[in-house]
Structure 1
Amino acid sequence: MRLELSPRPALLAAIATLSAAVPAATLAQSAAEPVATSASTVVLDYANVVATGSTIILNRLPIKLPNGSYIYKDVTINLTASSTGVLTVSPAKPTQTASPPVLSAKFNAGTYVYPSNPNYGLVLVGPSVVAAQSITRWQTNAAPALLKYCGIPTTFYVGDIKQNPLYATRLKPAGITSTEYSYGIIEDGAACGGQWGAGTIIGASQSGDYLTVASFKTTTGQDAATPQSRYTYRLK
């Protein structure tokens, strides 16, 4: 059985606990990598996590380097259990390779706040690759310690608009053709109603540290070809 977990706090906590038993230098670097002057930071929260059997796979695990830039790695961790149930990582050094580039449209995963009231915000998670299609999937969700605001929860897709799963049923009938946005749907549990309620077509775009979400629903509840309402968030 293959379970997609993106992310699951309990699983990530377990990974962190297991990793503590492995020498830090082994987890941080391969022999071919240069030694940094200070430690890099592993950001498990935004990895795409898949667990199957006794193997944990971290796709596009972000690692923040001392200079503030990010690299991404695909990491495979194999677990074994002793006769008394004690877990260990085997082999001790997880398999790690550089993540292949994916379509991102300049989206940056992270926590975003509403500039005029930073008590409100959302978290952007992604990307994950959609199998057999040249698109990637991103999600907006509620952010810890922040109040929810319009534009969550959503799933939207980056890439050729005709490859978007919503193209035939929602985007094309609405007359949406602009490549300015990446399109998706507001899901159940929407933070706002009206033009930002569940089932609304949403467009997302990124410019620097600013994430804009746009509603493509009219005030009468119809799908529209152009944005009807917008909110812009700033990367925290």
Structure 2
Amino acid sequence: MPEPLTLDALVDDAAFYSWEHQAHLLDLTEQLGENRFQGDLNTRRLDFVGTGTLSTTLSLLGSTSERLDTWLWGWANPSGFPPEVGALSERVTEFGRQHGIRELADAEVPLTPDLAARLSEAAKVVTRCWTSYSFAAGPGTRLYLLIEGPELALPAPDLPRTVRVIGEAISNGLVRDHRRALLSYAHLRRLRTKADDSSTVRLRLPDGTLTVTFDSLGRIGQMSSTIVGRGAA
């Protein structure tokens, strides 16, 4: 019988692929030079405007309130937005109820450290919408969005970027099961994997092979790359 799905497992499943999408969003906005965002929840549009414009379609995932010390899922927001604004968040809640994950199932959830980040990660696995954005919407209130658009699609994977993504994602402290996170990333990126033993996994990328070694606690301890036609890096 498979183990019950948990919030931690969903966060691990999303971790590296989500981080890569966030890094890609940062790259895109930096190309705009000095920029600002402008959004309209009623029309579901979020634009980043600088020397050019990056246009995306938004969904309201949820919001946090310092006064109430809670997370509120987007579909339960009382502001009267069109139903499609919170539709993705409603899908997450339905998933949470099906799998008995209280943090996803309840309309309002007490805040704990990193909860908003963890719920955002889990939501990406459920919705397959991998890029998020958040901003302060007033004193003590923050909105969390999922955004979509053709320019947000990732470029082809390569070794330098993959090593950077994995290293940075681990450092943010959300990943619990490093092996699960790595294998999920390989699956989502459609990379072939080979497990030499319980402590080593190799990922085959277009420009070479990434060898990932786990320590005795199952954490990623070392990464080494072999570029096609070159030695190890």
Same fold (TM over 0.5): no
- TM score, norm. by length of structure 1: 0.26
Q: Which of the pair is proportionally richer in strand?
A: 1
Q: Relative contact order, CA 8 A, sep 6+: which one is greater? A: 2
- TM score, norm. by length of structure 2: 0.27
Please identify the structure whose Cα radius of gyration is greater.
Answer: 1
